[in-house]
C-alpha cells in the first residue's frame, strides 16, 4: 500500500493494433507517449507498457516487432519522468531491451515460464517481476477453463513460481504475484478469486490484480456491455481487490480508479 493507504494504480499503455480495449489507439509512439503523459497526470503510480496483445485469439507478435513497439515508448517516458515503468512481455529479449531503455519491472503473463532463459534473465536484470497465473495459452485459454479448487491451484502455482524465481537468483523483495483474471478463468472463477484474494495476499508477496474492462464483467453483471461500457464493473472489482489488501491494480482508467480508491480509503479511515 502507498502512503495514502490505497493500492498503487498501474496504468496500461498498449502499443498494439489489437488489444481488446485500447488496440490501435497508441500504436504510434507519439500517441503512446501522449497517453502515458495523460495517465501520469491522472495519478498513475506505475505504467505498464505492452507490445503484444494476450487477449484470447490474439495473433502472436515477433520479437523484433514487439521490441520496436515498446522500446522507443519506454525510452521517451523515461527521458521525462522517473515513474516506475513495467514492460508486459513474455519474451526475454524484449524484457532485456526494455530494462536497458528504463523499465524497472518485468510483467510476465507466463510467470517467467515462457522461455528457458526467462528465470536467469530476471535474476540478471535485477528488476521487479510480476509472476502471473494463466491456465493454458492465450489462443485457447478461455475455451473451457477447469479447476477442482481454483484458489488452491492458483496459490500453489504462484508459490511454486516464486520459489523457482528465488532459486534462480531473483531477490524475494522483487517478486509480485497476480492471479491472472481472464487468463483461463470463467466468470465464476473470477468471483471466487476476488472473494478469496486474501489467500494470495497471505503468500507474503505484493499482489497485482488486473480486472479492468475484462469479459467477466458482463458475464457477472448479466449484461451485454462491450469493453468500452465496463467502467462500473472495473471499479467494483478494483475496490474489492483493494479491500483484500492488494498492492496494486492494473487499469485502463486511471483517473476514475484513483478517485474510487481514494474515496474508499477515506471511508475506511473515517471515525
Among residues 185, 196, 214, 230, the one annotated as catalytic is 214
What pairing do the DSSP bridges indicate for beta strands 8-14 and 248-251? Answer: parallel
- Look at residues 143, 163, 215, 203 and name the one whose alpha carbon lies nearest to residue 179: 203
Which residues between 169 and 198 bind ligand HH2 (CB under 6 A)? 178, 180-181
Residue tagged 473470477 (cell numbers)? 190
Give the Cα separation of 45 and 83 in Å (integer).
7
Backbone angles phi, psi at 8, to 5 degrees: -65, 155
* Interface region with ligand HH2, contact rule CB under 6 A, candidates 51-59, 110-118, 156-164, 215-223: 51-59
Give the Cα separation of 3 and 142 in Å (integer).
37
Asked if 234 interacts with ligand HH2 (CB under 6 A), we say no
* Interface region with ligand HH2, contact rule CB under 6 A, candidates 53-61, 151-159, 195-203, 233-241: 53-61
Alpha helix (H) residue ranges in the chain: 29-41, 63-80, 92-101, 118-125, 150-167, 187-195, 197-201, 216-221, 231-243, 254-269
- What character string, x for contact with ligand HH2 (CB under 6 A) and - otherwise, covers 127-166? ---x-x----------------------------------
- What character string, x for contact with ligand HH2 (CB under 6 A) and - otherwise, covers 246-265? ----x---------------
Quote the least distance from Cβ 269 to ligand HH2, whole Å: 28
Asked if 50 interacts with ligand HH2 (CB under 6 A), we say yes
Give the Cα separation of 252 and 235 in Å (integer).
11
Among 8, 54, 127, 230, interactor with ligand HH2 by CB under 6 A? 54
Backbone angles phi, psi at 85, to 5 degrees: -120, 130
Question: Is 174 noted as a catalytic residue in this protein?
Answer: no
* Interface region with ligand HH2, contact rule CB under 6 A, candidates 12-20, 153-161, 185-193, 256-264: 12-20
Which residues between 91 and 120 bind ligand HH2 (CB under 6 A)? 107, 109
DSSP state of 136: S
Among 105, 112, 158, 208, interactor with ligand HH2 by CB under 6 A? 208
How many CA atoms, within 13 angstroms, populate the side-chain half-sphere of residue 26? 26
Asked if 230 interacts with ligand HH2 (CB under 6 A), we say no
Active site residues: 214, 250
Binding site for ligand HH2 (CB under 6 A): 12, 14, 16, 19-21, 50, 53-55, 88, 107, 109, 130, 132, 178, 180-181, 208, 210, 250
Amino acid at each position: 500500500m502507498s502512503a495514502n493507504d490505497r493500492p498503487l494504480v498501474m496504468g496500461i499503455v498498449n502499443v498494439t493494433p489489437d488489444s481488446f480495449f485500447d488496440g490501435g489507439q497508441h500504436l504510434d509512439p507519439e500517441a503512446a507517449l501522449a497517453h502515458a503523459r495523460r495517465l501520469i497526470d491522472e495519478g498513475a503510480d506505475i505504467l505498464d507498457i505492452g507490445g503484444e496483445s494476450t487477449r484470447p485469439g490474439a495473433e502472436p507478435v515477433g520479437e523484433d516487432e514487439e521490441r520496436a513497439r515498446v522500446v522507443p515508448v519506454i525510452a521517451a517516458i523515461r527521458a521525462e519522468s522517473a515513474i516506475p515503468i513495467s514492460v508486459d512481455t513474455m519474451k526475454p529479449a524484449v524484457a532485456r531491451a526494455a530494462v536497458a531503455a528504463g523499465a524497472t519491472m518485468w510483467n510476465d503473463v507466463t510467470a517467467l515460464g515462457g522461455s528457458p532463459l526467462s528465470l536467469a534473465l530476471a535474476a540478471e536484470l535485477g528488476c521487479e517481476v510480476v509472476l502471473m497465473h494463466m491456465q493454458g495459452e492465450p489462443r485457447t485459454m478461455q475455451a473451457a477453463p477447469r479447476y477442482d479448487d481454483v484458489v488452491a491451484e492458483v496459490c500453489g502455482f504462484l508459490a511454486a513460481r516464486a520459489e523457482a524465481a528465488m532459486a534462480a537468483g531473483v531477490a524475494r523483495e522483487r517478486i509480485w504475484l497476480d492471479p491472472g483474471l481472464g487468463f483461463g478463468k470463467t466468470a465464476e472463477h473470477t468471483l471466487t478469486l476476488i472473494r478469496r484474494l486474501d489467500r494470495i495476499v497471505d503468500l507474503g508477496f505484493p499482489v497485482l490484480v488486473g480486472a479492468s474492462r475484462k469479459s467477466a464483467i458482463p458475464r457477472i453483471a448479466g449484461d451485454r456491455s462491450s469493453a468500452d461500457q465496463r467502467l462500473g464493473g472495473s471499479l467494483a472489482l478494483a475496490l474489492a481487490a483493494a479491500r483484500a489488501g492488494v498492492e496494486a491494480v492494473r487499469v485502463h482508467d486511471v483517473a476514475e480508479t484513483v478517485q474510487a480508491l481514494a474515496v474508499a480509503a477515506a471511508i475506511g479511515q473515517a471515525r
